[in-house]
Amino acid sequence: MILVSDVVPFRPPRRPRDVTSYIGMVIFLGGWAMMFAGLFFAYAIVRFKAMSWPPPGETRLPVALPALNTLVILASSGTLMLALRAIRSARPSLFRGAIVATFVLGAAFVGLQYVVWRRLYLDGLTPDSGIYGSVFYGLTCFHAVHVVVGLIGLLTLVPRAFAGKFSALDHTPVRMWSMYWHFVDFVWLLMFVSVYVL
């Protein structure tokens, strides 16, 4: 028996509630984008006013492990894009696998970030060790909180995915969490370059 969801086009027509959800998410992410922009602006002012960065005697930030973490979070964006394409083209098994892979990669990102924090903390860079430590932990922890929120969102999608609650015509929550996740990934790219590399 062939279902309607098996033969719908790749991009099904948008329902009014889908458009409303999309506009709401754009506004929501716009607000968070302004908040992160303010944090990055404050960080830039601190750096330009500093005589040297990092300040003398402070532990330098590693680059290799955060670079690996960047690849991990980029891969998670890729698997989430795959999941969204899969559900839009009525491939539920691929959708389920991609959603689970995204969650695993996101959790790995948080785990690797914890490893970075722990190593730096044991090396003497703490949130109260000065402006360098407070800025580093402030930015990266604030971002990590957003990743954890995204993981919670993905976790709400997984059981529904395995229960067959999403279809090519009805997958708005997947699309909304995808937008959020890609936003968080983009912020991390900016953070990696500005905090770890420059």
Question: How do residues 178-195 score in pLDDT, each as one tens digit?
Answer: 999 999 999 999 999 999
Query: For residue 18, is it left (φ>0), alpha (ψ between -120 and 50) or beta?
Result: alpha
pLDDT over 90 percentage in the chain? 62
Domain count, the chain: 1
pLDDT over 70 percentage in the chain? 92
Query: For residue 110, is it left (φ>0), alpha (ψ between -120 and 50) or beta?
Result: alpha
Is residue 72 situated within a structural domain? yes
CA–CA separation, 185 and 190 (whole Å)? 9
Mean pLDDT of the chain: 88
pLDDT digit string, tens, across residues 55-84: 888 888 999 999 999 999 999 999 999 999
Is residue 6 situated within a structural domain? no
Domain that holds residue 62: 15-197
Q: What is the pLDDT of residue 141?
A: 94
Is residue 1 situated within a structural domain? no
Is it the case that residue 24 has pLDDT exceeding 60? yes
User: Residue length, the chain?
Assistant: 198
CA–CA separation, 99 and 111 (whole Å)? 19
Is residue 8 situated within a structural domain? no
Please state the pTM of the whole predicted model.
0.86
Q: Please give the biggest Cα pair distance in the chain.
A: 71
Q: Which residue reads 């892979």 in tokens?
A: 101
Q: What is the pLDDT of residue 14?
A: 65
Is residue 3 situated within a structural domain? no
CB 149 within 8 A of CB 176: no
Q: What is the pLDDT of residue 162?
A: 92
CB 8 within 8 A of CB 169: yes
Is residue 80 situated within a structural domain? yes
Is it the case that residue 197 has pLDDT exceeding 70? yes
Mean pLDDT of 84-105: 93
Is it the case that residue 13 has pLDDT exceeding 60? no
Is it the case that residue 15 has pLDDT exceeding 80? no
* CATH code of residue 189: 1.20.120.80
Q: Could you give the angle at which helices 92-122 and 131-162 cross, rounded to 10 degrees?
A: 160
**Three-state DSSP class for residue 142:** helix
Q: What is the 3-state secondary structure (H, E, C) of 64-99?
A: HHHHHHHHHHHHHHHHHHHHHHHHHCCCHHHHHHHH
